[in-house]
């Protein structure tokens, strides 16, 4: 079965062709990072306009790479939510037109089920139940997956998502966007024990997260820094100008490594607690922040002695992509009854706040 996946929920325009849920014939992602970099975060209106411009060329590139035509496609899957409403609507409208014009079934996909499905692209043998840590620019959620396609929400962030926190700290220091990969790289040479930033809600019996406090702690720490002469480095919280002296970059990288470690420690501790409570057999870490080297290392280190398997998708399947959407669509298509020829999908609408429970998508 050949599935065409379409993903436009945020700032990546992505189309993939996946065969039998596994063989990735093409996975094309057009990133809008350069458009949003000037603003240090995503501007929804610009995201929509760029999706409109990019969706058709991205489709054509994906079909060419996969060496197929639309006629060869059996099923089309598209992200229905959650995400930016205008961005979602571009993908959904495009997918509806394609499905209608070619008379193919159209399967709506939950974006987070897509992220969790990214592990099935590369692994057949995931044991159940497993705990899924979904960490991206928009989400920091912990789920237990008792079986394929079923999800019980244990906790989520009460304020910023983990990726959003990386992006905001990078913006604070004028490092660029998206902040996660930049901080990850700069932190490689930093000392993660240099500053002990707060690990929020660790003691509480909750699986919820809070990341706005660590961001504020970084701001407060930066305002207290002094030059070797004892002068404040920053006059105010614009954190501008950035010092050009040779002592600045090592110090900055220590702060970034310490910040990154604080975020990773919380994510690992809560995930392990979720494993204990649910007697899970494995952990899946998915979403853009799953690329983070400190998180990968801390999670592997914490689980290594117990031999608990941890599944991280390859980096290109951690960040938003359409192969994961095609994989989830294939599963939904095979396990649910679809009114293939009734064109009922013409009523399909975007759901910016769609919740993931495992069976609510229709």
The full length of the chain comes to 362
Residue 71 structure tokens: 């006629």
* Binding-site partner at residue 160 among Zn ion, ligand KG4, none, CB < 5 to 8 Å by type: none
User: What x-and-dash track marks residues 299-328 binding Zn ion by CB under 5 A?
Assistant: ---------------------x--------
Which of Zn ion, ligand KG4, none is residue 114 near (CB under 5 to 8 Å by kind)?
A: none
How far is it, in rounded angstroms, from Cα 325 to Cα 95? 13
**Given the structure tokens 């089309």, which residue do they identify?**
76
- Which DSSP symbol is given to 189? T
Rule CB under 6 A: is residue 10 a binding residue for ligand KG4?
Answer: yes
Distance of CA 311 to the CA centre of its chain: 15
* Contacts of ligand KG4 in 130-149 (CB under 6 A): 136-138
Task: Provide the 8-state DSSP code for 168.
Answer: H
Are the beta carbons of 177 and 137 closer than 8 angstroms?
no
Cβ proximity of 35 and 106 under 8 Å: no
Rounded to a whole number of angstroms, the minimum distance from the CB of residue 345 to ligand KG4 is: 24
Q: Give the span between the Cα atoms of 350 and 93, in whole angstroms.
A: 9
CA-based radius of gyration for the chain = 21
For residues 135 and 257, which CB has a smaller minimum distance to Zn ion in the complex? 135
Query: Among Zn ion, ligand KG4, none, what binds residue 313 when CB lies within 5 to 8 Å by partner kind?
Result: none
Q: How many residues bind to ligand KG4 according to rule CB under 6 A?
A: 20
Which ranges of 207-310 would DSSP assign to H, the alpha helix? 212-224, 248-278, 293-304
Residues 134-163 that bind Zn ion (CB under 5 A): 136
**77 vs 138 by CB, closer to ligand KG4:** 138
Residue 5 interacts with ligand KG4 (CB under 6 A): yes or no: no
321 binds, among Zn ion, ligand KG4, none (CB under 5 to 8 A by kind): none
CA dihedral 171, 297, 161, 77 (to 10 degrees): 110
CB of 60 to Zn ion, least distance (A): 24
Binders of ligand KG4 among residues 284 to 303 (CB under 6 A) are: 287-289, 291-292
Q: CA 285 to CA 297: how far, in whole Å? A: 12
Question: x/- string (CB under 6 A) for ligand KG4, residues 155-184?
Answer: --------xx-xx----------xxxx--x
Least spacing, CB of residue 187 vs ligand KG4, in Å: 9
Helix (H/G/I), strand (E/B), else coil: 345: helix
| CA 229, 230, 235, 236 torsion-angle sign | positive
Q: How far is the CB of 291 from ligand KG4 (least distance, A)?
A: 4
50 binds, among ligand KG4, Zn ion, none (CB under 5 to 8 A by kind): none
Write out the residues near Zn ion by the rule CB under 5 A.
136, 320
């Amino acid at each position: 079965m050949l599935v065409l996946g379409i993903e436009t929920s945020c700032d990546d325009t992505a189309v993939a062709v996946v065969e039998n849920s596994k063989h990735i014939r093409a996975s094309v992602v057009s990133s809008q990072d350069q458009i949003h970099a000037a603003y240090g975060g995503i501007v929804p209106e610009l995201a929509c306009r760029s999706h409109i411009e990019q969706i058709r060329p991205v489709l054509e590139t994906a079909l060419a790479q996969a060496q197929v035509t639309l006629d060869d496609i059996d099923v089309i899957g598209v992200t229905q939510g959650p995400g930016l409403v205008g961005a979602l609507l571009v993908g959904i409208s495009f997918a509806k037109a394609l499905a209608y014009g070619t008379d193919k079934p159209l399967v709506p996909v939950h974006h987070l089920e897509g992220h969790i499905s990214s592990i099935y692209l590369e692994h057949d043998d995931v044991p159940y139940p497993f705990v899924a840590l979904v960490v991206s620019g928009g989400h920091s959620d912990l789920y237990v997956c008792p079986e394929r396609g079923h999800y019980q929400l244990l906790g989520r962030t009460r304020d910023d998502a983990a990726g959003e926190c990386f992006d905001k700290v990078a913006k604070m220091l004028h490092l660029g966007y998206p902040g996660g990969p930049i901080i990850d790289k700069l932190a490689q040479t930093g000392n993660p024990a240099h500053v002990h930033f707060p690990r929020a809600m660790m003691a509480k019996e909750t699986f919820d997260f809070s990341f706005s406090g660590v961001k504020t702690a970084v701001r407060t720490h930066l305002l207290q820094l002094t030059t070797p002469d004892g002068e404040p480095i920053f006059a105010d919280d614009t954190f501008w100008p950035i010092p050009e002296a040779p002592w600045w970059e090592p110090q900055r990288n220590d702060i970034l490594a310490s910040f990154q470690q604080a975020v990773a420690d919380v994510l690992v501790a809560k995930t392990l607690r979720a494993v204990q409570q649910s007697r899970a057999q494995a952990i899946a870490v998915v979403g853009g922040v799953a690329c983070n080297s400190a998180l990968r290392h801390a999670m592997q280190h914490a689980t290594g002695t117990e031999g608990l398997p941890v599944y991280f998708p390859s980096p290109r399947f951690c960040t938003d992509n359409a192969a994961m959407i095609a994989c989830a669509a294939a599963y939904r298509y095979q396990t649910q009854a679809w009114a293939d020829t009734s064109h009922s999908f013409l009523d399909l609408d975007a759901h910016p706040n769609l919740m993931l429970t495992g069976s609510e998508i229709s």
